[in-house]
Structure 1
Amino acid sequence: MSKLIHNCKIWTDSGYKEWLLFDENEIKEVGIGDHPASDEKIDLDGNFVFPGLIDSHIHVYGLGRELSRLRLNKPRSISELQNKLHEYSKKNQDLKWIIGNNWDQDYMEDNRYPSKEDLDLIVDDRPVLLFRACNHIGVVNSKALEILNIYSKTENPLGGIIEKDEHEVPTGILKETALSLVTDHIKITDYKTRKKIITLGLQKCVEVGLTMVQTNDPNCWEIYKELEKNDELPIRVALTIFENDLEREIRPTPSSRINFLSCDRVKLFADGSLGAQTAALRQPYSDTKAMGVSIHKQDDLDAKVLRIKQAGFRLEVHAIGDLAAEMVLKSFEKANISKDERPILTHCQILAQDLINKMSQLGVIANIQPQFVTTDSQWVEKRLGEGNERLKYAYAWKTLLNNQIPIAGGSDSPIELPNPLHGIYAAIFRKNPQNEIWRPEEKLSFNESLDMYTKGGAFATMMENQLGQLKENYFADFIVVDKDIGEKPEGIMDTKIIQVWVNGKKKF
């Protein structure tokens, strides 16, 4: 059955068009003027049509889970954090663990990490865990430390830090792999609950205009397969599994693809986060003189990369600091990963020219999160040193493009909101919380920013001949919005999603 959308402005590489004809799930023709016959005509009331938007780095399970947790929303002080914790704990007396997200010491007037004592003043009878905005640091109360058997003599796990004061007493701060000490106590194992969480996350994604997600969700393949089988996936899902998923009895085979669902890559972590000062740097942080945390030694990282390649999967590796990027690129090179395999370096926040040159040589895709500029720009110079040469390669999206590095855009939600329009706006304007432009030389055009979330996302999942553009023989994935964001991108943040179409069907 053919359908025709008309009375609208349709964004294409060759300019705006007036109508689009699709049959079932495939675009047949896009044009101007008189339109061809169709079985059904859809009048879009003068609104604007853009290609379906793709989030190339998101955690759908984490997003759905966070929607049901305490949302701290970056409190401005320790006392505000305590007030929110107090209200939540009163309303949720049945919870065995109180878990919250999204504090950031750089946004708080106290300018310090919260401590176990801060939490104990509010809740001392139940364990509490509050994640920093990056999810690479958490703070727990004394009850949690007791349950976790963390004391003065407890040693740091490999790749993690249990912070202690000058008397070797744990402060309540856990960094990187030290957070895994909590995992067994808070993880949700009930299948139905986990399926509900994923469904909640997917629904949020379609509401903000996403037609595809490339999601990092461990141990979720079986759930996604069931959702696909029951026609319950509202959007396309390219699942990235974790290394330990390779040991599971139920896991995808390399290059699995079942209608809306696919999986062809495995995720590794090379370091932590810049805000938590656990991103691995070549030179010390300017404000602490720490070097960050390398999750693996070089030999171990080499072995993991090679193992994943030999298992037939593509690589996606989290690397925020320049040292982490250097280590990952060495591992890619040692494993003889080819350009055709399109390895992915996720985040790429601190680079250097030699690293960019190596990325170009190896055909590495830069998977970037433009919203991080908005969040991080108010403190990144404090971390790296004002005027430091490495700032030149911090969040350097334009530099990557100028060096012919393919880029794909993502939100890293729930770290940031999953709204792709917010990411496009951040890439174009690079404004900090004070509405000032940070490093304007790295601003992208609207076309470049849109491409990140369309063509770039399609390239990252090897579907560039089917997705990312509104043209003949491509899938009918598109969104309808109420503003001409192509002509007036300054209005992006006030733009309303009117409709979302995936595979020729209206999903929102």
Structure 2
Amino acid sequence: MADLLIHNANILTQNPQQPTADSFAITNGKIVAVGSNEKILALQQSNTKIIDAKGKTVLPGFIDAHIHIWKVGNLKTFLLDLRGVSSITEMQDKLSDFIKRNPGNGWIQARGFNEANMKEQRLPTKKDLDKVTTERPLYIIRTCAHIGIANSKAIELSHVHAQTHIPPGGEMRLDNDGKPNGIFTETALGVITNNIPPYSSDDYALMIKAAEEELLSYGITAATDPAVMPDLLECYHQLERENKLRIRVNALPIRVPDGSEYILPVPSILHSDKLDVNIVKFFADGGLSGMTAAMNKPYKDSTSMGVLRLTEPFFYPLALEAASRGFGIATHAIGDKAIDVVLNVYEKIRAQYNDIILRIEHLGLPSSIHLQKMKALNIHCVSQSIFLKELGKNFAMYLEDERLHRTYPYRSVLDAGINLALSSDAPVVKDFNPFTGIKAAIFRKDNDGNTLGADEKISLQEAICAYTMGSAKANGSEAFNGSIEVGKKADFILLNKKLGSLITQEEDIYVTSTYINGEEVYKRIN
């Protein structure tokens, strides 16, 4: 009657109709019963496998609703990882060593620097990269991926000069001599990246495979890749056809690529066991940690108000076209000015399409009026509490106290009745363990121990729900994952201990086993 029974467990189901249970049963990869030990053990047959959880906590598999899967893998395969460098000199040394280990004439790419954590407290420039090499094109990406730096050779090969046309919503910064200083932001990134040889399908498959093992080790059974170009989308389709995807993937095709004014077509909707394509992605602004998120007033000690990448007249028809074909809409919007634009367009979309998914990705600085409107329009908030920990130092540099302490306001989001989905946006951050993100939502401390917005803390249960059922709702997959309940796919994780209603910031919590469709796909080796 059952293939697998989990019993003697502290099951936090994330099903509000049955919040806790002791046991559950699985048949053919689906959950068929949830309840007491006595009830579930009665379903045992001679060939039933039984797992004694020994009182430890079992959760639904985590769903990271916004993580760049292939980019996580790219840093494990092709790119140099610059996350954690503490100075431009250290960065230059790492790049020089990487070039020695990768001889030839091709492009050198790296990602992950954060000027807030570097001694010089500034962005690198073309001159800094030219000290590493002027013979090979070199391009490095800030941790947020909204700012890139190119050396002279990369600029030369890209045929970029001071008069180069920059698409709306981007910046090419100039030096005192009027020539490009190597810094490109937002849509301007494409004037460089469009000249870098593209990855092959096999390259993408290698990156995805490299990322999946780490995802599974953190108990992430489903993930949303939130900016998928056509070549990557085809790779996901191919992996699904060949049954090579280990996790469930929700791929969000992008409509307006960086550095181009060309509009990508709306693809076909797909729903399968391991791959969903049902939401398209837009970018309304940049990143808060690099001062490119679009604001209604300048950043602290600056005249900059960020970069607005979408206007309503441009955005609305593209979103409407996707909605008319049954797609949901997910839009990156961090600053309040960008949120204004997105909500105005979403209001028009919702008036015509009542049932499609509408998401705002990140939602860094919403006002109370924004939150009221999101609730009225049934808009999901897909956000990253881990930013508070890893990027909080940047936020403190660029925001005065009033805005700093209402950044990523999760208490306000939940109190407004908005569905909250937590995620990581890795590799923007290095640590994408959901428990790190859960602790960040609970304690709201940066890496230096400073608290950002104490009034916006949420509870352990609220944070777990946001990483499971909240993310499932934002993906439109709540009918089959996000909770441990009858009829859903048997995606779940076993933890190393029993969770109480409260945890400490230092508490060691980790996943010991990860299951998808009732099959163990990861087991921790101590």
- Determine if the TM-score, normalized by the shorter chain, exceeds 0.5: yes
Q: What does residue range 152-191 of structure 1 map to in structure 2 within 5 Å?
A: 152-191=162-201
RMSD between aligned alpha carbons? 2.2
CA distance in structure 2 between the aligned counterparts of 1:70 and 1:19, rounded to whole angstroms: 45
Q: Does residue 100 in structure 1 map to residue 110 in structure 2?
A: yes
CA distance in structure 1 between the aligned counterparts of 2:180 and 2:234, rounded to whole angstroms: 39
Corresponding residue of 2:50: 42
1:366-415 CA distances to partner (integer Å, 9 max, x unpaired)? 111110111232232332223x3x44532101101000111111111111
Compared with structure 1, are the counterparts of its residues 325 and 443 closer, same or farther at alpha carbon in structure 2 (3 Å cutoff)? same
What letter corresponds to residue 17 of structure 1 in structure 2?
A
Q: CA deviation at 1:424?
A: 1.2
Q: CA deviation at 1:342?
A: 2.7
Corresponding residue of 1:394: 407
Task: Please state whether the residue corresponding to 2:58 is helix, strand or coil.
Answer: strand
What letter corresponds to residue 218 of structure 1 in structure 2?
M
Task: Please state whether the residue corresponding to 2:451 is helix, strand or coil.
Answer: coil
What letter corresponds to residue 111 of structure 1 in structure 2?
Q
Compared with structure 1, are the counterparts of its residues 337 and 67 closer, same or farther at alpha carbon in structure 2 (3 Å cutoff)? farther
Q: CA deviation at 1:333?
A: 1.5
CA distance in structure 2 between the aligned counterparts of 1:315 and 1:63, rounded to whole angstroms: 24
Q: What does residue range 124-273 of structure 1 map to in structure 2 within 5 Å?
A: 124-216=134-226, 217-219=228-230, 220-243=232-255, 252-254=267-269, 256-273=270-287
Q: Does residue 83 in structure 1 map to residue 87 in structure 2?
A: no
Q: Does residue 22 in structure 1 map to residue 26 in structure 2?
A: yes
Task: Please state whether the residue corresponding to 1:67 is helix, strand or coil.
Answer: helix
1:134-185 CA distances to partner (integer Å, 9 max, x unpaired)? 0000111111111122233334332111111232122111111111012233
CA distance in structure 1 between the aligned counterparts of 2:380 and 2:398, rounded to whole angstroms: 26
Compared with structure 1, are the counterparts of its residues 201 and 252 closer, same or farther at alpha carbon in structure 2 (3 Å cutoff)? farther
TM-score by length of 2: 0.91
Task: Please state whether the residue corresponding to 1:379 is helix, strand or coil.
Answer: helix
Compared with structure 1, are the counterparts of its residues 187 and 481 closer, same or farther at alpha carbon in structure 2 (3 Å cutoff)? farther
Q: CA deviation at 1:483?
A: 2.5
Q: What does residue range 323-338 of structure 1 map to in structure 2 within 5 Å?
A: 323-335=337-349, 336=351, 338=353
Q: CA deviation at 1:447?
A: 0.6
- More displaced stretch, 422-431 vs 35-44: 35-44
**Partner residue of 2:366 out of 351, 357, 372:** 351
Task: Please state whether the residue corresponding to 1:268 is helix, strand or coil.
Answer: strand
Corresponding residue of 2:131: 121
Q: CA deviation at 1:9?
A: 2.8
CA distance in structure 2 between the aligned counterparts of 1:168 and 1:98, rounded to whole angstroms: 26
1:104-158 CA distances to partner (integer Å, 9 max, x unpaired)? 1111121111111111112221111111110000111111111122233334332
Q: CA deviation at 1:77?
A: 1.2
**Partner residue of 1:340 out of 329, 348, 355:** 355
Corresponding residue of 2:386: 371
On the 8 A contact 2:284/2:332 being kept in 1, the answer is yes
- More displaced stretch, 126-135 vs 17-26: 17-26
Q: CA deviation at 1:261?
A: 1.4
On the 8 A contact 1:422/1:492 being kept in 2, the answer is no
CA distance in structure 2 between the aligned counterparts of 1:182 and 1:44, rounded to whole angstroms: 55
On the 8 A contact 1:371/1:427 being kept in 2, the answer is yes
Compared with structure 1, are the counterparts of its residues 112 and 491 closer, same or farther at alpha carbon in structure 2 (3 Å cutoff)? closer
Q: CA deviation at 1:497?
A: 2.0
Corresponding residue of 1:383: 398
Corresponding residue of 2:497: 483
Corresponding residue of 1:5: 6
Corresponding residue of 2:62: 53
On the 8 A contact 2:438/2:460 being kept in 1, the answer is yes
**Partner residue of 1:317 out of 315, 331, 344:** 331
On the 8 A contact 2:319/2:329 being kept in 1, the answer is yes
Aligned residues: 504
- More displaced stretch, 143-152 vs 183-192: 183-192
1:479-501 CA distances to partner (integer Å, 9 max, x unpaired)? 11212344453267632321111
Corresponding residue of 1:409: 422
What letter corresponds to residue 450 of structure 1 in structure 2?
I
CA distance in structure 2 between the aligned counterparts of 1:274 and 1:297, rounded to whole angstroms: 19
Q: CA deviation at 1:311?
A: 2.9
CA distance in structure 2 between the aligned counterparts of 1:187 and 1:437, rounded to whole angstroms: 43
Compared with structure 1, are the counterparts of its residues 486 and 131 closer, same or farther at alpha carbon in structure 2 (3 Å cutoff)? farther
What letter corresponds to residue 12 of structure 1 in structure 2?
T
On the 8 A contact 2:169/2:309 being kept in 1, the answer is yes
CA distance in structure 1 between the aligned counterparts of 2:166 and 2:198, rounded to whole angstroms: 25
On the 8 A contact 2:405/2:452 being kept in 1, the answer is no
- More displaced stretch, 95-104 vs 2-11: 2-11
What letter corresponds to residue 26 of structure 2 in structure 1?
F
On the 8 A contact 2:245/2:274 being kept in 1, the answer is yes
Compared with structure 1, are the counterparts of its residues 323 and 15 closer, same or farther at alpha carbon in structure 2 (3 Å cutoff)? closer
1:401-450 CA distances to partner (integer Å, 9 max, x unpaired)? 00011111111111123322221121111111112322111111011000
Compared with structure 1, are the counterparts of its residues 441 and 244 closer, same or farther at alpha carbon in structure 2 (3 Å cutoff)? closer
What letter corresponds to residue 148 of structure 1 in structure 2?
S
On the 8 A contact 1:287/1:382 being kept in 2, the answer is no
Task: Please state whether the residue corresponding to 2:393 is helix, strand or coil.
Answer: coil
What letter corresponds to residue 136 of structure 1 in structure 2?
H
Q: CA deviation at 1:29?
A: 1.8
CA distance in structure 2 between the aligned counterparts of 1:45 and 1:360, rounded to whole angstroms: 39
On the 8 A contact 2:406/2:456 being kept in 1, the answer is no
- More displaced stretch, 469-478 vs 341-350: 469-478
On the 8 A contact 1:485/1:492 being kept in 2, the answer is no
Q: CA deviation at 1:242?
A: 1.1
On the 8 A contact 1:164/1:170 being kept in 2, the answer is yes
CA distance in structure 2 between the aligned counterparts of 1:295 and 1:368, rounded to whole angstroms: 19
Question: Which consecutive residues of structure 1, in runs of 5 or more, have no partner in the other structure?
Answer: none
Compared with structure 1, are the counterparts of its residues 145 and 248 closer, same or farther at alpha carbon in structure 2 (3 Å cutoff)? closer
Q: CA deviation at 1:60?
A: 1.1
Spell out structure 1 runs of 4+ moving beyond 4 A. 13-16, 244-249
CA distance in structure 1 between the aligned counterparts of 2:375 and 2:126, rounded to whole angstroms: 46
On the 8 A contact 2:29/2:517 being kept in 1, the answer is yes
On the 8 A contact 2:115/2:123 being kept in 1, the answer is yes
Task: Please state whether the residue corresponding to 1:166 is helix, strand or coil.
Answer: coil
Q: CA deviation at 1:323?
A: 0.4
Corresponding residue of 1:300: 314
